[in-house]
Amino acid sequence: MADTSNDASFSMTPAETTKLSKLLAYVLRHGAAKEKLTMRSDGYLLLSDLLARPKFKNITQEQIEYVVRTNDKQRYALAQLEDGQWYIRANQGHTLKVDNEQLLERLTTPLPVVVHGTSLANWENIKREGLKKMQRHHVHCATGLPGDSGVISGMRKTSEVFIYIDMAKALQEGMTFYRSKNQVILTEGKNGIVSPEYFSRVTDCHGNSLL
């Protein structure tokens, strides 16, 4: 496979990059089976199989590499695995069944900050019912706010409300936490919900307390 990591001459327009990134997110997180693709238990798909599908008819390996390399949230990973072939996967966000122990790092020690970002509109329900994983396998959190050092992904930059999770309490009471390759903190909650009792504090984007 071509290595474009140091090829400054190759580029894609923002529109092309966004379109391909959204297509990759759909297939790698949700639609592999519908596209008749076989996903390994660790979330990897054979890249040559992906490129053979009709939706990727006009997509090249070079374009895939570019999107993986330049994605600001590092959503995807490319790897040459034990059979010598190239594979691709999403680092988190699956609705498809994957083996968390292979795809993610399980955390057993509380982190200083675990925070979920949401909108003011969503907060009204969340403060009553808790954070729900919905169709995904996990509730997604970050280790800081957008723009903080080391924070790559885990919440939208447009988040208006920041819900801080008491990870120590949650771990003590049997909740599981994982860290993805792009540093997103993930939890299944209890029965798919992180209830408000595990919220240590909640602030709006101006720092005002909402809890």
154 burial via Cβ count (<10 Å: 0-12, 13-18, 19+): buried
Query: Which residues lie below 8 Å from residue 142, measured CB to CB, with a gap of 6+?
Result: 114, 115, 116, 117, 151, 153, 154, 155, 183, 184, 185
At 129 the pLDDT is 95
Q: What is the pLDDT of residue 2?
A: 44
pTM value?
A: 0.62
- 151 within some domain: yes
Note whether 107 and 85 are same-domain residues.
Answer: no
84 and 39 inside one domain: yes
The position carrying tokens 């995904």 is 136
CA–CA separation, 193 and 189 (whole Å): 5
Mean pLDDT by 10 residues, the chain (211 residues): 51 92 91 89 90 93 92 86 89 70 83 93 94 84 77 70 96 93 88 95 92 81
Do 117 and 76 share a domain, yes or no? no
* Residue 183: predicted pLDDT: 84
Query: Do 125 and 44 share a structural domain?
Result: no
Q: Which two tokens stand for residue 203?
A: 């602030």
Domain for residue 172, yes or no?
yes
Among the candidates 60, 90, 120, a domain finishes at 90
Q: How many domains does the chain have?
A: 2
pLDDT at 199: 97
Please check whether residues 108 and 198 belong to one and the same domain: yes
pLDDT of the residue at 101: 58
**Which residues form the domain of 55?**
14-90
